[in-house]
Amino acid sequence: MAKVYTIASGKGGTGKTTTTINLGTSLAQMGHRTTVLDADLGMANLGLLLGLEEEPVTLHEVLSGDQRIKNAVYEGPEGLQVVPAGLTLEGFQKADPEKLQDALSYIIDNTEYLLIDAPAGLSKDSVIPLAVADEVLLVVNPELSSMADGLKTRVMTDKVGSDVGGIVLTRAGSAGDDLDVSRVEDLLEAEVLVSVPEDAEVRRSASYKKPVVLHSPNSPASQAYKKLAHKLTDEE
Ligand code: ADP
Ligand code: MG
């Protein structure tokens, strides 16, 4: 049975997809059978960032009822299993997020860790990934507006009966007037598991369609994501 982490935040652009890819690759590198799944059905880009953009079967076809999820699993770096979502508007319109929970059972039986890259916002397609999680990881930036959005996701997570596993503070140090860790923890009532610094290597590695933990393994963001993987598996 997989442990399911949903990587969520109130707003877009906080670093959810980056976190999903790099945490997933780090867990795979440690020898854990790991699957990452793109539940951002409207603005899918997990597959794109891993060089999987022309796959015939994606989560869209699974959620429209046309395909089985095992046909939408592809091999990524380090043996990471990847379930991309499609890139077309038509595919998005046909996909029914209510089918996600049933579709996941095959993955849950066949992997050790499942990381779900959730969409921003609080609509049905973002709430369902919160509901299916064993633990939700809140991805927030150390600024006040991000706290307000993160708090809504936190409250929604409580509402659907899931647990918040902790906070991934990303893009830290980019503005120079960051909220400090203890303030973030007080505001969101959860522990900051790791602080991922702003790191130009993240964007650079994305242009090569490689996770930063592989493209630039010693960069500050890579080190932070590896630390997070160790923390979640209790392997220090
Ligand atoms: P989301 O999935 O939450 O919308 P992304 O992971 O796509 O966010 O990240 C949004 C943008 O920020 C991307 O261009 C990404 O390369 C960049 N980014 C994410 N994390 C970092 C970081 N630690 N340092 C610098 N840029 C980052
Ligand atoms: Mg994203």
168-185 pLDDT, tens digit per residue, is: 999 998 877 789 999 999
Alpha carbon nearest to ligand 1 atom 6, residue: 15
| Residue 41 predicted with pLDDT over 80 | yes
Q: Is residue 235 very low, low, confident or very high in pLDDT (cuts 50, 70, 90)?
A: low
Ligand 1 atom closest to residue 198's alpha carbon, by position in its atom list: 24
The Å distance, Cα 14 to ligand 2 centre, comes to 8
Contact assessment for residue 172 and residue 142, using Cβ atoms and an 8 Å cutoff: yes
Q: Is the pTM above the cut of 0.95?
A: yes
Q: Does the C-beta of 206 come closer than 6 Å to ligand 1? A: yes
Predicted pLDDT of residue 170: 96
Residues 99-106, mean pLDDT to the nearest whole number: 96
The Å distance, Cα 39 to ligand 2 centre, comes to 9
| Number of neighbouring beta carbons within 10 Å of residue 195 | 21
How high is the mean pLDDT of the chain? Answer: 95
| Residue 43 predicted with pLDDT over 70 | yes
The Å distance, Cα 23 to ligand 1 centre, comes to 13
The Å distance, Cα 45 to ligand 2 centre, comes to 6
| Residue 71 predicted with pLDDT over 90 | yes
Task: Tell me what percent of the residues of the chain surpass a pLDDT of 70.
Answer: 99
What's the pLDDT tens digit per position in 75-90?
999 999 999 999 999 9
ipTM of the complex in this document: 0.99
- For residues 40 and 124, give the distance between their C-alpha atoms in angstroms, rounded to a whole number: 11
Residues 9-16, mean pLDDT to the nearest whole number: 93
- For residues 121 and 236, give the distance between their C-alpha atoms in angstroms, rounded to a whole number: 34
Would you state the structure tokens that stand for residue 156, as one six-digit string? 């929604």
Domain spanning 3-233: CATH 3.60.15.10: no
Alpha carbon nearest to ligand 1 atom 20, residue: 15
Which one has a higher pLDDT value, 8 or 122? 8
Closest ligand by atom to 41 CA = 2
Q: Is residue 53 very low, low, confident or very high in pLDDT (cuts 50, 70, 90)?
A: confident
| Residue 236 predicted with pLDDT over 70 | no
Phi, psi (deg, nearest 5) at residue 83 = -110, 100
Every domain of the chain and the residues it spans: 3-233
Q: Give the 3-state secondary structure of residue 217.
A: coil
DSSP state of 225: H
Q: Does the C-beta of 16 come closer than 6 Å to ligand 1? A: yes
Q: Does the C-beta of 18 come closer than 6 Å to ligand 1? A: yes
- Could you tell which of 11, 14, 18 is best to mutate to test the pocket of ligand 1, judged by most ligand atoms within 8 Å of the CB? 18
The Å distance, Cα 86 to ligand 2 centre, comes to 13
| Number of neighbouring beta carbons within 10 Å of residue 180 | 11
- Could you tell which of 138, 201, 202, 219 is best to mutate to test the pocket of ligand 1, judged by most ligand atoms within 8 Å of the CB? 202
The Å distance, Cα 203 to ligand 1 centre, comes to 7
